[in-house]
Chain A
């Protein structure tokens, strides 16, 4: 079955520590890949996206993500976390193919807590 998996429901890191949030997908063809962040009371903000090309993608707020075809993964990373990064992070895909254009399929999210 087609799916987006975020295996970590909750992650806690100390401020200044590095961060990696995992995302795996199960689709026949590599979908378009996205990471969104949601702060309390806020909508979803796009951090970065991967459509093709360079497998290391730079996003906003110092985040980056690496696409690994062999592992069907698109993990989000940040070298040094700030307290303001505490939020919920969602991995999402748009399957390739005209009928699903513009339709995002989300993982269940990873809640990030940052300790001072």
Chain B
């Protein structure tokens, strides 16, 4: 059983640029969530995708967007990068709503984004 894999592991961007982060969910999981973890903080929920549609969003602006593909992999896109976007971005997968595993998330190792 493969876990959650994320790419790239590290990247550096400058203000105003755009970034795409990628995530492959754990085998058998069809729900993907993204979290932002700023330095010294706990992760914060960005949004969740289920059946290729956004299924809830946290307190993040529209320049944070995502996609989920038919194979359940996912992308996080951030436009017009700001310095405060520097963080570790974590992807997590889980079983679908209604299942006992819907609230049990498996996390990837994250993508560390630095915005200069």
Contact = CB atoms under 8 A, between A and B. Distances in A.
Interface of A: 4, 32, 36, 41-46, 49, 51, 90, 92, 94, 98-109
Given A43-B107, A106-B42, 17 more contacts: A41-B109, A43-B4, A43-B108, A44-B90, A44-B92, A49-B104, A51-B103, A90-B42, A94-B103, A102-B31, A102-B48, A102-B97, A103-B33, A103-B45, A103-B48, A104-B105, A107-B42
A105 B4 contact: no
11 contacts: A4-B42, A41-B109, A43-B107, A44-B43, A46-B106, A99-B56, A102-B105, A103-B33, A103-B45, A104-B35, A108-B42
Given A41-B109, A43-B108, A43-B109, A101 B103 contact: yes
Contacts of A104: 33, 35, 43, 45, 92, 105
> How extensive is the interface on chain B, given as a class?
20 to 34
B40 interface: yes
Contact of B97 (A49, A94, A101, A105): A101
A102 B102 contact: yes
A43 B42 contact: no
A99 B40 CA distance: 28
A94, A103, A105: most-surrounded residue (chain B CB, <10 A): A103
Interface in B88-116: 90, 92, 94, 97, 102-110
